[in-house]
């Protein structure tokens, strides 16, 4: 089962390696990983998408929480969080195909960020599922190159059931 973890860490060298080694030693592959700054200059947020069972994941979360540089670990629960991903894709687009492709992009709200004689580069930001769908639809046209940022997410501003993301509190 796929899970998304959101980890707040001190912005220190080596912290990413300490976290990812908890997955690597168990042979879990990380689907996507996004690291970036937060509202605090000394704090970074790591968003990890991983495919593993719930019980080893809980163990990993608890161990992550023990890392000196880790400030908070929470799981982003679908429905209670906003998840987004950005993709850039270069698609074969001979002049005859351009219009069709651009119409397709419009449906998904993808922007054309570059245009060449034989290809077109789309940028799409959206829920990862939308990115998946757009990718599937574009693929038959000849997908030359693709890069995704990996998902990032935040807990919703308004949570009707007031459930906070699951956290392991040590005290």
Task: Assess contact for 150 and 85: CB atoms under 8 A.
Answer: yes
| CA geometry: angle 69, 70, 75, nearest 5 deg | 165
155-161: which pairs have CB atoms within 8 A and are 24 or more residues apart?
A: 155/74, 155/76, 155/80, 155/81, 155/82, 156/80, 156/81, 156/82, 159/80, 161/80
State the DSSP string of 135-157. HHHHGGGTEEEEEE---EEEE-S
Q: How far is the CB of 69 from another protein (least distance, A)?
A: 5
> Of the two residues 59 and 163, which places its CB atom closer to another protein in the complex?
59
Q: Return the number of the residue (1 or 169) whose C-beta is nearest another protein.
A: 169
Give the pair of three-digit tokens for residue 10.
């001190």
By beta-carbon proximity to another protein, the closer residue of 74 and 119 is 74
Cβ proximity to another protein, 40 vs 139, nearer residue: 40
User: Are 168 and 73 a contacting pair, CB within 8 Å?
Assistant: yes
- How far apart are CB 24 and another protein at their closest, in Å? 9
Shortest Å, Cβ 63 to another protein:
5
Shortest distance, position 71 Cβ to another protein, whole Å: 5
Given a contact cutoff of 8 angstroms between Cβ atoms, the answer to whether 75 and 3 are in contact is yes
Residues that bind another protein (CB under 8 A): 9-10, 13-14, 17-18, 21, 25, 59, 62-63, 65-71, 168, 170-171
Min dist CB 75 to another protein, Å, is 16
Nearer to another protein, 2 or 66 (CB): 66
């Amino acid at each position: 089962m796929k899970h998304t973890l959101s980890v707040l860490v001190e912005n220190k060298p080596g912290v990413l390696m300490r976290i990812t080694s908890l997955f690597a030693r168990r042979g879990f592959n990380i689907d996507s990983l996004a690291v970036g700054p937060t509202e605090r200059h000394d704090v970074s947020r790591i968003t990890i998408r991983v495919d593993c069972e719930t019980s080893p994941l809980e163990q990993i979360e608890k161990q992550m929480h023990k890392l000196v540089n880790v400030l908070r670990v929470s799981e982003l629960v679908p429905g209670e969080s906003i998840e987004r991903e950005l993709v850039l894709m270069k698609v074969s687009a001979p002049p005859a195909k351009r219009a069709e492709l651009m119409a397709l992009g419009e449906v998904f709200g993808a922007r054309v960020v570059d245009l060449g004689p034989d290809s077109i580069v789309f940028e799409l930001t959206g829920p990862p599922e939308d990115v998946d769908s757009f990718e599937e639809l574009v693929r038959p046209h000849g997908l030359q190159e693709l890069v995704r940022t990996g998902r990032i997410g935040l807990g919703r501003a308004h949570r009707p059931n007031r459930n906070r993301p699951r956290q392991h509190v040590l005290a």
